Structures are given as C-alpha cells and as structure tokens.
Chain A
Amino acid sequence: MYKILEKVDYSDDTYMQVIEAPAVARTAQAGQFLIVKLHEEGERIPLTIADFDRDRGTVTIVVQAIGKTTRELQTYAAGTSLSNVIGPLGLPSEIENHGTVICAGGGVGVAPVFPIARELKKAGNKVISIVAARTKSLLLWEDRMKEVSDEVIVTTDDGSCGRECLVTEPIKEMCEEGDVSLVYAIGPAIMMKFCCKTTEPFGVKTIVSLNSIMVDGTGMCGACRVSVGGETKFVCVEGPEFDGHQVDFDLLMSRQRQYLEQEKIAYDYYLECRGDKACLT
C-alpha cells in the first residue's frame, strides 16, 4: 500500500497528492510517469510525476478529475492509501544546456513541466515559463514555477489573471523575437497541438509529453500507441516525450476518446455504489 501524506485541493476538480513510494522516488526523474491503481477493482491509470523527494521517499501528482478514477482519487484524503504505485516509467527528459527554453504548461500540465524546468535551469538554461489556464481558479503552481524560472508569464483565456490570451501567444512573440532554442509544451492534447503549430514555422524544436490511454504502462499492451513521424510508437516505453512537430495529434485525440462511453457508465455506477459493495448484487 502507498500512503497519501498530503492532499491539497486546488479547485473543485484539480488536486495534488504527495504519495509515499520510496522505491519509485529513489530513481524518479523529470519527465517520467507513474501507473496508479486505487484498489482491488481499480483500473491502472498513468499520471505524470509532478515532483519527487528522494530523502522523504515521496512522489507528487497533480490531477484533474475528469474520469471515474480521477474523481474517485480526489476523495482519497491524507492518511489513506493507494493499492499500487508503479514507476518511474517512460524515458526521462533529456536535459542539456540549449540556451533559452520556454516551459509552457496548460492547466494541470504546469505540474509535470515543473521538474523539467527545474532541471533545465540547473543545467544552465535561461528558463521562461508560461503558466496558462482557462480561468484564474484553474491556474496552479505559479509560485513554484517562479522558483525555477528566470521569468514567468501567466495567461488566462478569459483574462481573469495575467494576460488575456491563449498560451500560444507569448510563445509566438518570443519565437518572432528569435533566440528561443527549445519549447516544452505540456497540457491537454489540443493545447500541445497548437503550441506545436505555433513554433513549427519558426523551426523551434518543441517537446510534448503525451497522455495516451495505457493499461500496463510497461510496453506490454500497445494501447498507448501514437503516430510520430509516420511511425507507430509506444508512449509508455518510447515516450512520453516526443518531438511535437512529428506527432499526429488528431490520432492521439481520437484514441483518447476511445472509452468515453464506458467512462460514463463507470462513473454513474460509482456514484450509485460509492463505498457500498452491497449494491453490486
């Protein structure tokens, strides 16, 4: 069992959990992900590592509750335990000194960008971070990003905080000014797609972290396959990070919708039976 040591709700449907998993924390690196399973009947879901503390033996996740499992996970308070936490999985980010790097996070995507920005900063890069969300209440980790960035730009779609614009606007401006060596863009598939469309004309390499559906997360099932540069790749063992200009985002988004119908059934069933196994019979 893996104990949740801290839990913070950021909004009605976004939250952070710090989980005790010493074996995972020991080798965790920026860019990697976990597979988490709540209980015996639970599904295995991939969640990107938002932070880790090797001394304390913890890994941190920041989650947006959208499906049945992420909503159920939100009810897990500090002191409760998860049945399985597996990782660190996937390849770590390739960290080197590129020069100036933009680290853009959309919504909860800011959290997985954080350890990458931290490592890029350590490696001597000038890190300009963009913390983006639809609206102010969904912004998160601005303070943390400030600690590891030379500059932080906040954007909201509705202008409720920071600049009123999409995440792509400051990226475009900086690309136009030149001097951007690399962009990291992590968030919803649609946000990553448009970040890549923005940087492509400037030839600025853009790394994205793909969040496809997975079962085992260790290369066994192939559920996570995506098309990168016209070739099929497994996100779990060949990713999760890829050159965004090569990724077929439309295929990724189509594949992400594969179980929408079942998600609803599972969630309705969960609401009906929450904590009451007797309703199964």
Chain B
Amino acid sequence: MSDIENKGNEGERELSKKERMAIPRTPMPEQEPKQRAGNFEEVTMGYSDEKAITEASRCLQCKKPKCVAGCPVGIDIPAFIDAIAKQDPAAAIAKLKETTSFPAVCGRVCPQEEQCEKVCIVGKKHEPVAIGRLERYAADWEAAQGEAAKPEIATGKGKRVGIVGSGPAGLTCAGELAKEGYQVVIYEALHKPGGVLSYGIPEFRLPKDIVYRECEYVESLGAEIKLDYVIGKTMTIDEMMDDGHDAVFLANGAGLPVFMNIPGENLNGVFSANEFLTRANLMKAFRFPEYDTPIKVGKKVAVVGGGNVAMDAARTALRLGADVHLIYRRSREEMPARDEEIHHAEEEGIQFHLLTNPTQIIGDNEGWVEEIEVIEMELGEPDASGRRRPVPVEGSESRIPIDVVIISVGTRSNPILTQATPDMELNKWGNIVADPDTLATSKEGVFAGGDIVTGAATVIQAMGAGKVGARSIDRFLRGLPLKPEPEEEGAEAEGAAAK
C-alpha cells in the first residue's frame, strides 16, 4: 500500500495516463465488522490526505468526462478531483459547492456505483475512481476547518418562499433560493430538521452531527427552519399563500409505511422499518433509558425486504444486540439496496434468506410474535419492472422462531398534506402530479419534488428535484415562462445541467 501512496504523492511531474491507470482503487478504512456490529459509530472512516491524493491522481481528467452527466446534479467532478490531487482541498470544496450544498451527505449516501462511478472511463478496464469517497474527503476537510465558506448571496428579492419539509429536496431548494436572495422559510413537521437524513438513515452510515451541520449551513445562507410545523394541519397551503408566501415548494417525502397484508401483522413485536428506524435514529432509543423512547429488539429479528431501508433496519437491530435474519423474495442480484450496504450487512453477520417470502406471522397467547412462516420462491418471467417475478414454490412453507419482525417493503404517500389540499392533482398512488421539467403542480405558484412526487427514491434524486424546483420558482417569481425559451438556452445551460 505504502509504495502505491508514494507513487501518487510524487506530484513533481504530471503522471501519464498509463501510470494513473496502474494505481489500484484506494480502499476506504473501515471499522472491523466485529467491532462495528457493537457500536453506532460510523462504519467507514474516510480517506486520510495521502489516500485522497492517491485516489484523486487516478482520475484521467477526461476532456469529455462521462461522470458529470452521470451525476443527477451535474457536479464538475474532474475539477474537484484535480484540486484534491493538487493538494488544494479548499478549492475542491469550493468547486463542489458550486453545484451541491451537501457534499458530506452525498459523499456518504449517494449510490455512486449506479451514477458517476458507473460511467467513469477508468472503470471500463479497471475499478472506477472513488468519486464519492473523494467528495466526502473534501467535505470532511472543510468541516474540520470550522466554519464553512459561504457563497455569495444575491441582494434581497423581496419575495418569500415557503418550503414544506427539511429533507434533501427541501434543504436543497431552500439553499438555492436563499443564495438567490429570496426570503425562505422551511416548515418541518418533526422536532428535528433533516427529514429522512435525520429519522431514516442510521448514525453509523450518516452521523447526525453532519446532517445538523448541513441544516445550519442552509440557515447561514438566510433560510429559516420552523420545526413542529405540520403543513396540512398547523397551516394549509392556501393559508401559506395568503400568509405572504409568493411560492411554495412541497418536499414532504414518501410518508406512510406499507405492510404486507399477511395474517399476524398487527401482533406486538411487528414494526415498520420507519418506526424501528425513527425510534433508533430520531429518538435515540439506542440510548434508552437515558433517552425516553424505548425500542424492542429481542434476541432474534426478522427484517423483510431488500432495499437500503431494510439493510439500515437490519444493521441497526444487529447493533442493538439481535441475531438478524433478512428475508427477501428475489435473489441477491435483484436487491434494490446498494452493493456496499449489502456487503457491509453480510460482513457484520446478517443472515440472508433469499428467494423467501413471509406468508404469516404467528403470535403467542399474549399477542406477541413467536414465529414467522415463510415460503420458498423461484424466479419466473420478468414483470413490469423488468425483474424476474418471484413465484411461490408450493408446499415449501417453513417456520422460523422470531422475537421481532421489521417490515421494510416500501412506503406510500402520506395523506396529511393532500387531504388538506383537495384541489391538488394526484396520481393513482396519491403522489402529487408535477411537470417533469418544471415540477409545477396543478396549483399556481406551488411546486413539488422528491419522494412525494416520485415515490421512494434516493437522496441525490431528491436533491436534484430541489434544484429544479428552485430554478422554476425563481423563474416563476421573475415572471418568466417556467421552461426556458430556446434563445435563453445558452444562458440557462448551467442551470439545466443541474437536472
């Protein structure tokens, strides 16, 4: 390892393309699986300066980079990596912040392997440049310096924008609009800001200090965050418009947990992943009784589902001391979770029951979970999603003794906001209908983005939607058509890249 680092550190002369390609991808230091399974500290520990510089020197600085187009917000990736390679992390973070407000978050939770890193030219023959890890390095470097550098804030526009939800879409939109000189107020239903970053993603994957720091950054740009404010209850959208908001961005997230509709689901000891994670993350139940909120894990936990949320729930239950069994109806290839998360879960000792589906949950006389009945599945013809449809194997039922079951099979839209806004157009799943290019809803001056529009998706997609929403709101408030005219295209090119 050390000689490779030396090679990267030479810095005296420009490395040739061949030399750059010869450097292997720099691994991220991690806590040992056994050790981390017993704590809530962050799993990955970040690059040292040396490792970051080595990894950055693997970037070919392509003339026509593919990675930029692979990024949902269009970060100038070669430029920020070049700055790291030249040992100038300040320039790297400045470059990142031209496009993303939250590099410390994106660097940790973006599925880079499906985005920028998937199309990295180095990755064609070798492993791609570790773009996400380098992004995190630059962000963490800045955090270690103390106060974050602030971008220039335009002079006040005298217009007020209300943003519903302080998750990734809402925070991004707020940050962009505050920079443009709008007066921004974010309304958050919970008692802490951050949305899914705060209640959903566990501490060991995204420390809450980082989330709160990013929220403070948005506040430092001039945005106000009002907590304990449930739009649709405490105030309706119409009341927001009457109350001096010139435009509104709805980013209230995916909402209601979905259950499987199998017998026994309302037994004690059956939880939605949302409940389990909210107790652990937002309410800090892992520190009960120092914190008041309790959490039940028992000795043996079944987690049903194969997404990132299922992995988060499983790994949280493991850290609370349980023996964890993950039950997923398709095979590993079809799991929607990130590779890295699946890999970490396996390393930590989560037991996977693939091609297996629960059929019922059996309780004891006191109404507590005792067993889960599962059936084996096989993959049939591809379904609408293009993935092969799992079909039950008749007569293959078996039972697993279990103390707690966590259901993580998705979410549907939360009705609170839409019940209170009967004139807003919704699709058949109850998601808000928004123009795909402008995010305009059926209500004048109201825009919507993130999971409330798309259904559950990724943090970076929500951030992308926040940017588009901000651009549309800016145009709306300046009296411009929401879609740029063809002659404006040049001037708007930078904004468009954000899509």
Contacts and interface: CB of A to CB of B under 8 A. Distances in A.
Given A222-B259, A225-B266, A215 B293 contact: yes
Given A27-B235, A87-B233, A223-B271, A215 B279 contact: yes
Contacts of A263: 294
Contact of A266 (B189, B259, B271, B292): B292
Given A216-B190, A258-B268, A89 B230 contact: yes
B191 A37 contact: yes
Interface string B216-227: 000000000001
A77 interface: no
A247 to B, nearest CB: 13
B42 to A, nearest CB: 22
Interface stretch (B97-105, B173-181, B282-290, B300-308): B282-290
A104 interface: no
A262 interface: yes
Interface in B221-262: 227-230, 233-235, 255-257, 259
The size class of the interface chain B forms with chain A is: 35 or more
Given A219-B256, A222-B272, A232-B265, A88 B234 contact: yes
A19 to B, nearest CB: 12
A97 to B, nearest CB: 24
B278 interface: yes
A199 to B, nearest CB: 25
B411 to A, nearest CB: 9
Interface in A54-79: 68-69
B416 interface: yes
13 contacts: A23-B229, A41-B292, A42-B292, A44-B293, A86-B230, A89-B233, A216-B199, A219-B255, A219-B256, A221-B279, A222-B259, A262-B294, A270-B289
A181 interface: no
Main secondary structure of the interface of B (DSSP, over half): loop
Contacts of A221: 257, 272, 274-275, 278-279
B278 A68 contact: no
A266 B155 CA distance: 52
A269 interface: yes
Contacts of B289: 262, 265-266, 269-270
Listed residue (A27, A89, A221) with the most chain B CB atoms within 10 angstroms of its CB: A221
Contacts of A218: 189-190, 230, 414, 416
Contacts of A220: 199, 255-257, 274, 278, 414
A234 interface: yes
Given A220-B255, A259-B294, A262-B289, 12 more contacts: A23-B229, A27-B234, A44-B191, A218-B416, A221-B272, A221-B278, A221-B279, A237-B415, A254-B366, A258-B268, A269-B289, A269-B290
